[in-house]
Amino acid sequence: MVLAAHRCGLRPAVGYELNPWLVRLARLYAWRAGCASSVCYHREDLWKVSLRDCYNVSVFLAPSVLPLLEDKLQAELPEGARVVSGRFPLPTWQPVAVVGEGLDRVWAYDIHSGGPTVQASLAPSSVLVPRVPEPQAG
């Protein structure tokens, strides 16, 4: 997912994973794609990482932890951030887009001051567009 985010133009593209084998595999894929110097993978616990400066977050986690993830994301992500969840939707948030079918389905959510809400409904074939933070005044 990190490599795909990088290919969509998201910078920096950083991944967190506890399993050392998956971190090595991800680094190998990045190297084979010629992106090893442009993407970064850390063997770190997502629950201990601050997401306060992130405007694009992709997650691929088991459904059992998604309610806890909703709380973390809502508490830490800035307004205007976009979350994309692969394989499983977030349990209580309303997506702004759903793309793909079966195992390849992803759900996109936008963070607003009052929580993630539905914006315009997008067709299933719509492309997910990364969110870019707007310049801060001052």
Q: Structural domains in the chain?
A: 1-49 (no CATH), 51-121 (3.40.50.150)
Secondary structure of 48-89 in the HEC alphabet? HCCCCCCCEEEECCCHHHHHHHHHHHHHHCCCCCEEEEECCC
Tell me what the pLDDT averaged over the chain comes to: 83
Residue 127's pLDDT is 43
47-57 pLDDT, tens per residue?
999 999 888 88
Give the C-alpha separation, 106 to 36, whole Å: 25
Q: Is the pLDDT of residue 138 over 60?
A: no
Cα(first)–Cα(last) distance of the chain, in Å? Answer: 34
What's the average model confidence in pLDDT over 5-23? 87
Residue 33's pLDDT is 93
Residue 8's pLDDT is 81
Q: Is the pLDDT of residue 22 over 60?
A: yes
Which residues does 126 contact at the CB level (< 8 Å), separation at least 6?
97, 99
83-129 pLDDT, tens per residue?
999 999 999 999 999 999 998 899 999 988 665 654 433 333 334 44
**pTM for the whole structure:** 0.74
